A = this chain, B = another copy of it.
Amino acid sequence: MTDQDTFTAYNAATGLPLPGNFAEATAADIDKAVRSAEVAFEWLRECRPQRRGEFLRAVAAKMRLREPEILARCELETGYLPERVRGEFMRATGQLELFAGLAEESVWDVRQFDSGNPDRKPFPQPEMRRRMIPVGPVAVFGACNFPLAISVVGNDFVAAIAVGCPVVVKSHPSHPGTCKLLGEVVDEVVAEMDFPEGTFTLLHGRRPETSVALVQHPGIAAVGFTGSPNGGRALAQACLQRERPIPLFAELGSTNPVFLAPGFLAPGILAPGAVENRLEAIASGFTTSLRFGNGHMCTKPGVVVMLDRQAKAFAEAVVDKMHAGMPMPMLSAGIADAFDQGVAKLADTTGVDELYGPRSARSDGAVPPDDQAASFGPWHRDARWFAVDAITAAEQNLLHCETFGPVSLLIRCTDEEQMLWVAKQFKGSLTATLHVDQEDAAFQARWLPIAERFAGRVIYNGWPTGMEIGSATHHGGPYPASLDGRSTSVGYASLDRFVRPVCYQGWPEKALSRV
């Protein structure tokens, strides 16, 4: 890395460079940021949690003062629709204020007390108290797809600051300008509230070695990461190879299968189930969920599993609704390329049919190049929808390959048994969804124990996109949903990533008053 190494951001709608240069963080930048965070940690861990709550609220308030500027830059860098960006802005500010409240209540500090017994033989039993303390400076890598809510001031930031951990953020190279504005907001709050400078540092970078250097700095105590499985695994490797290994909390990839229950009441007796009872509503819900944010969602419904005999009517209803959408920009040239490759892999697989393709393909049903989409902008892509039978899907390993963007795969099953067999093939997913009516009760009872085995969130008659942030939220799951399915990157329990227990044995309670 040289000190002069800079890069620019791009307008996702036009592919043209945007104003501003962003300097790749050097080893010296990283060292300065982390050393400064270590100093800040001494103060931040001891300051009243209420102060940290006030800090998070102040960040939200200052974001609102600069809202138009932030939204405008974010729209340019992402190509998202204004309402999508505005929605994420509200989620990010709401999350800051929610976690301010959690900080004020120190909800993560679940305490345990074991009473002692001075008369126990052969040794007296000491009193023991278990409390939670922050781990130290946290490195944060934001997601490409949530420049406001999983980024500089996003889920990892709010959790780390709330518990008392300073944060060093590496901006995502596809929206460094948005990150820069958010970083200025935080810097101003740090200065105005007289927090130590190292409470927060924003670094830029697009090289893998910059990320590795950050997580391998000895002062970093934990890492929050949202990105690809390959990227996450590489950083996990870097974390393990340190002199002192540290945990990487990584949310990686997911196909988020949606199962449409078949509606059998009992063998030999056929009753209409969810698909037949609510065809239009389910088709509409699916299309909205798939197209939301142009499919740039970790919870995009990438797979639908249903009976072959119900698939035709469902496909017709969905395709009808797909036509109301239009090509939208992908987040970057690289993501557009990856999307094209993922789509080509599906389209080229023997046995895979295209159900919905580029707009120019509507009338004749062929699979032409994406010319029509390209006329909107170089990174614009329309939604794509494919279908395949269950056996081919499993054999060709199509159930686990997440292609980021507006593409989904319908799995046609011969019967209920095959649907459950498909369910058993999934290894890890953020979510699993079941659409079900009264008539599907028997299927539901068999599906749930399978689905909870591979998913972190199991959804009943809903859609995986649009997550609630609460005490019961779990955004994680067996790999590749996350590296360790026990942790969540969203919700109250995300705080638990950045604290660890300490057992105080035999201490008089008043000696622990500061803890």
> Interface on A for B, CB 8 Å cutoff?
46, 112-114, 123, 125-126, 128-130, 133, 135, 233, 236-237, 240, 244-247, 427-428, 444-445, 448-449, 452-453, 455-462, 466, 468, 470-474, 476-480, 483-486, 488, 492-493, 496, 499-508, 511-512, 514-515
Contact = CB atoms under 8 A, between A and B. Distances in A.
Given A236-B245, A461-B506, A452 B484 contact: no
Contacts of A461: 506
Contacts of A503: 456-458, 472-474
Nearest to A122: B87
Nearest to A475: B503
A458 B501 contact: no
Given A237-B240, A485-B135, A501 B479 contact: no
Nearest to A464: B505
Contacts of A479: 244-246
Which 10 A/B pairs are nearest by Cβ-Cβ distance? Answer: A114-B470, A130-B472, A128-B472, A474-B503, A112-B472, A460-B506, A457-B503, A460-B507, A112-B471, A486-B500
Given A237-B240, A427-B244, A114 B468 contact: yes
Contacts of A468: 114, 125-126, 128, 505
B244 A457 contact: no
A473 B240 CA distance: 26
Nearest to A452: B502
A189 to B, nearest CB: 26
Nearest to A478: B244
Contact of A462 (B427, B448, B485, B505): B505
Nearest to A218: B427
A252 to B, nearest CB: 10
A228 to B, nearest CB: 14
A78 to B, nearest CB: 21
Given A129-B472, A135-B485, A478-B500, 9 more contacts: A128-B468, A245-B483, A245-B484, A445-B511, A448-B514, A455-B502, A457-B503, A460-B506, A472-B503
A125 B128 CA distance: 41
B462 A126 contact: yes
B514 A501 contact: no
Contacts of A472: 112-114, 128-130, 503
A459 B505 contact: yes
Nearest to A511: B444
Contacts of A445: 511
30 contacts: A112-B470, A112-B471, A112-B472, A113-B471, A114-B468, A114-B473, A126-B460, A130-B471, A135-B485, A233-B240, A236-B240, A244-B479, A245-B483, A245-B484, A448-B512, A448-B514, A448-B515, A452-B502, A456-B502, A456-B503, A457-B504, A458-B502, A458-B505, A459-B505, A460-B506, A461-B506, A473-B503, A474-B502, A486-B501, A488-B501
A466 B460 CA distance: 49
Given A245-B233, A452-B515, A474 B501 contact: yes
Contact of A504 (B133, B458, B476): B458
A317 B410 CA distance: 78
A457 B500 CA distance: 11
A444 B514 CA distance: 12
Residue of A244, A476, A480 contacting most chain B CB atoms (<10 Å): A244
A512 B447 CA distance: 12
Contacts of A125: 468
Contacts of A449: 46, 514
A462 B506 contact: yes
Contacts of A244: 427-428, 478-480
A468 B474 CA distance: 32
A125 to B, nearest CB: 6
Contacts of A488: 501
A38 to B, nearest CB: 11
Contacts of A473: 114, 128, 130, 503
A502 to B, nearest CB: 5
